[in-house]
Every structure is written in C-alpha cells, then in structure tokens.
Chain A
Amino acid sequence: MNNHPVQVAEPIRKLIEEFNKLPGIGPKSAQRLTYYLVRMPEEHARELCDSIIAIKEKLVFCSICQNISETDPCAICQSSERDHTLICVVENPLDIMAMERIRGYNGLYHVLHGVISPMDGIGPDDLKIERLLSRLKTEDTQEVILATNLNLEGEATAMYLQKLITPLGIRVTRLARGLPFGSELEYADEVTLTRALEGRREI
C-alpha cells in the first residue's frame, strides 16, 4: 500500500461527507449519490437544493397539534370536514402519514414528539403533553386514541397519558394489538399470538 493521500476534488469530498451524515446512508451510498449528482443537469440540482431549503424555511409546527405544517394551524386542524371531537395521539409526524394513508380516520391528531424513556433522559415534561391537556380542556373532545408504539416506552407513555386524561371525563382508547393482517397463524410468534388471543372479540 502507498501512503499518498487520495486525490478527490474538495466539493466532492465535502458532499460525500454530508450524505454520509444522513441516516441509512453509508460511505458507499454517499459516493454513489455524489457521483450521480455530478452528472445531473444543473436545473435538477437546483430544484433539489430549493426543496431542501424549503423544508427549513417554509415549515412550522402547528400550534394546535404540533405536527409539521406549511400553515399554522395546519390543514388538518383547520379542516371543517374532520371530526373535531376525536384526537389520535402519536409519537412523531411520520405516524400521522401512516394514519392518513389508511384514509379511514377522520379525526384530529396530536404529536408528542417522542416517548417517555428515562435511559434517554426523556420524561413527560419533554413531550408535548401539557399542550395536549390544554387542548382537551378547551376543545370539545369526546375521545382520545392513544396510538403510541406497542413497545415498552410507547406503553409507558400511553399509561401515563391515560392516568391524566381519564379524570377529565374523556373516553380513552388504545390501538388493538394482535396479528398483522394477511398473516398466517402458523408463522406468528408466540407472544403476538398470546396477545391476539387475549384481545379476541365477538363477531
């Protein structure tokens, strides 16, 4: 092996580094993306830049539901066609995208921006829980759906919220847990199957 430094043009080296910082992109992918961009027409490159700048400049947090939005309040909170008595509480904005994809939910949302996790130093005060409680006191909410993830931290958060919300006389529900749709019993792991059995219902 020789000891000459690798000769790469500075702008290329810099861009590879920037890509490498992104989640899910390793050194190889970073190189591939960079050299792809080198060959890209300039106007496309500008569009890409503008899109990146736009998400920093044009986006705000909705002061009601805390979702990322172009307007404040966001389109969902402003919509008169949605059911304003129903609030679905999620961990992060990506969860709203998942819920919206099903097209079957017509209520409002509330984004916590995280879950309770003492080992990461995240407690209830670090989440948007106070905002949720003040919403519940001023809005005409009938039901809160707790849609945090079904892991330990998600459940800790759901339990914490349930204790706070129930005394307000509002119905609190939790997403069902059990078998994924289209799955076969034979391949389900035992814990999932146990939960599905516990959560069975009459048809």
Chain B
Amino acid sequence: MYISYLNLTNFRNYSLLELDFPKQHIVIHGENAQGKTNLLEALYILSTTRSYRTGNEKEFIKWSALEEPDSITRIIGNFQKEQGDIKIEIDMHYAKSEITQKRIKVNDIPRRASEVIGQVNMVMFEAQDCQLTSGPAILRRRYLDLINSQIDHHYLYSLQRYNRVLTQRNHLLRLINEGQARADQLDFWDNELSINGVYLILHRQQMINGINESVRTIFRKLSQNKESLKLKYLPKLKYDMEATQKENEELILGKFHKQLQESRGREIAAGLTLVGPHRDDFRFLVNDVDVGIYGSRGQQRITVLAIKLAQAEYSKKQTGEYPIMLLDDILSELDITHRRQLLEFVTSLPQIILTTTDIHTIEPFFLEQSVKLKVIQGNIE
C-alpha cells in the first residue's frame, strides 16, 4: 500500500498543500519547527482518525484560520491498495475557535470513525515510542489495541463495547455502594464484560504469538546475533498455552465469572471494576530479562524498533498488505550501524515516509530510491 496524493487545508502550519507521490519512499527534510512532523501527523490521522500527539483536536486548526468565519480544516489522502484505490477525507468545521463538527468520508461516502480504522494501516515510530518498554501499562495496552483494531474489525467492536460496559459497570458499582442500586443489577454487565473481555484476551495473545514469530529474527540481526527478544503477555486472567482456542474461551470465561463473583464485595467498596483485560500488561524480554526495567535506553530503543518492524510483518500476514511506515526523526537517535540496518530492513517495504533535520545522515542507497521533500515554513520545495 502507498499514498499517492495528500491535500491539507488549514492544518497546523499548512494553509494549503497539495502533493502527488509516486510509489517510492519519501524523505521529508528541513530545519526544526517547519512542519515535518505535521505532515506525518496528518497521514496518521487519515489512518486512525485521531492524532498520536494530542487529544485536543483544536490544535489541528491553523492559527490564522481560527478567526475566519466559515472556514474549514481538511485532510484528504488517496491511497493505492491491492484491492483498489481508496480516498479518505476528514473535515473539521469550527466556530468561535471550537470544533463544531468532524466529518469523515471514505470514497466520498460519510463513515463513522470505527469504519475507517483498518482501511489504511500505518506503523508510526517516533521518539516517544521508547516509553513503550518502560512507561505505564496503559501505553502498551493502547498500542496492542490499535494493532488489533487495524487488522480485526470485530476486535475494535469488542473493545469499544468492553470500554462502554466498564464505564456503566463502574457507575453501577458506585450506586450500589451508596445504596441506590441492587447488586443483582450487575448480572447483565458482568456477562457483557466477560464475553467481550474474553475476545480481547484471546486476540491479544494471538497477536503477541504472531509478533513473536518475526521479532526474534529481526532483533537477532539488530543486535548482531547476540540476543533474543520476546514479548510476554501478562493477562490478569490466566491462559492455557496448550489448550485450543475453544477450550481457552470456556476456561477464561469460567475464570472471569468466578473472579467477578469473588471480588464483588471489593469492587463495590472500591466503586471500580478490578477484574479484566483493562488491567493487563505485556513486557519486553531480552534474553528473558525485562528490558523496560533493566535495559539501557539504547537497548530500549532497538527493542521498540524491532517490535515496530515485526508489527509491519504481522500486519502483512493478517491483511495481505504491508502498512505504510512512518519514521519521525528516528535516525538521529540511532548509531550508524543501526541506522544502516534499519534502512536496509525497510527498503523492501512498499513505502517508508521519514523525516530528518539532516538529509546527510541518510544512506545514499536509500536516498536514491526516495523522493526528497524540503519543508520550509509550511511549504514544500
């Protein structure tokens, strides 16, 4: 898959930008604060309908456009996929500096955000991602959930439903605690929580198995054959690796119900759901040692790099198509050997889009296959 056309209107520091892309890698270069990352962000929004940088979508609107009446912030992208071309458009209307309407269209037909996720898959790698190994568990869950949502629409559905049940159930627990509701009203929510939760647990494990298949080889190469990397899933509800999917479904469902029963008193007292995959974690083990705790920063960076490359492989295996890879100023953080290895790895993928402040840090063999775009103050040269 690759992007063939991008159009930005009043997005961040771009007033109007129109770009055609050939089926090639793209190197975006330029000095700091010119708008390189904004381009990657726009692409990422087309893929997921949301930004990885901010939850406040007001930031998307170009400052000078905020005061203009009836103006609009718009991102349009055309993508060439094996099953045919696809056009994604995201419009944001605003009044008095507030976004009043966000509309998403796929091939000019209005769609919900959940229908867009999975249409155009991308793997993003940026400096903040190094926190994946050592940061709080919620970062890892979010990462896991995004990968699965992109390749399995039912996963996204179960996740949204699970989160909604969680909110409702937590409120109900508080009402019961205050004596305003009865404990038997929990039955429906317990049932929904466990059915959707089991789907999440099983598919998280499945994805981790899938990523582990390719991450081992990738990490071996990156670490000069010395070390082995493995993802380990730590579900709150234990899993039987030897059993079949069907057996596990029943096994985990049974355990889920049992634990909900056992912890009901504690949950009512806390006003919080304490059992379930919303509290899961997974860890990165290098030679069986947790790299998030004991690894150096350099080692953590290589770990995340290997995971992201394995994610591209996994996505290809599941959907039949390689995702577009976005690398935001990553090369400057790698030593020369790893920089070269990364570029050699990704060069065979359909399209890599990377940003850099210094184009000379990029190996000539990669530059030869790339389109070079220079960004100066919201314009492309």
**Chain A residues in the interface with B (C-beta under 8 A):** 26-27, 116-119, 121, 123-124, 152-153, 155-156, 159-160, 189-191, 194
> Is there contact, CB below 8 Å, between B175 and A121?
yes
**Chain B residues in the interface with A (C-beta under 8 A):** 95, 100, 115, 153-154, 157, 161, 164-165, 167-169, 171-172, 175, 180-181, 185, 187-189, 192
> Is there contact, CB below 8 Å, between A123 and B181?
yes
> Which residues of B are found within 8 Å of A124, using beta-carbon distances?
185
26 residue pairs A–B, Cβ–Cβ below 8 Å? A27-B95, A118-B169, A118-B171, A118-B175, A119-B167, A119-B171, A123-B175, A123-B180, A123-B181, A123-B185, A124-B185, A152-B164, A152-B165, A152-B192, A153-B168, A155-B188, A155-B192, A156-B192, A159-B188, A160-B185, A160-B188, A189-B153, A190-B153, A190-B154, A190-B157, A191-B157
Q: Which of A118, A152, A189 contacts B172 (CB 8 A)?
A: A118
Complexed CA–CA distance, A155 and B115 (Å): 23
Complexed CA–CA distance, A60 and B274 (Å): 46
Complexed CA–CA distance, A136 and B189 (Å): 26
Nearest A residue to B111 via CB reads A189
| CB of B332, distance to nearest CB on chain A (Å) | 41
> Is there contact, CB below 8 Å, between A156 and B153?
no
Nearest A residue to B114 via CB reads A189
Complexed CA–CA distance, A116 and B185 (Å): 10
Nearest A residue to B100 via CB reads A26
> Which residues of A are found within 8 Å of B187, using beta-carbon distances?
159
Nearest A residue to B109 via CB reads A187
Give the interface SS of chain A, mostly helix, strand, loop or mixed.
Answer: helix
> Is there contact, CB below 8 Å, between A118 and B181?
yes
Extra contacts, 13 of them, besides A124-B185, A156-B192, A159-B188 (Cβ < 8 A), are: A26-B100, A27-B95, A118-B169, A119-B167, A119-B171, A152-B165, A152-B192, A155-B192, A156-B189, A160-B185, A189-B153, A190-B154, A194-B154
Complexed CA–CA distance, A159 and B169 (Å): 15
> Which residues of A are found within 8 Å of B181, using beta-carbon distances?
118, 123
> Which residues of A are found within 8 Å of B185, using beta-carbon distances?
116, 123-124, 160
Nearest A residue to B154 via CB reads A190
> Which residues of A are found within 8 Å of B188, using beta-carbon distances?
155-156, 159-160
Complexed CA–CA distance, A72 and B280 (Å): 55
Complexed CA–CA distance, A159 and B188 (Å): 7
Nearest A residue to B186 via CB reads A118
> Which residues of A are found within 8 Å of B192, using beta-carbon distances?
152, 155-156
> Which residues of B are found within 8 Å of A189, using beta-carbon distances?
115, 153
Most buried by B among A118, A123, A156, A160: A118
> Which residues of B are found within 8 Å of A194, using beta-carbon distances?
154
Asked if A117 meets B154 with Cβ closer than 8 Å, knowing A123-B185, A160-B185, A189-B115, the reply is no
> Is there contact, CB below 8 Å, between A118 and B153?
no
| CB of A130, distance to nearest CB on chain B (Å) | 15
Complexed CA–CA distance, A190 and B153 (Å): 7
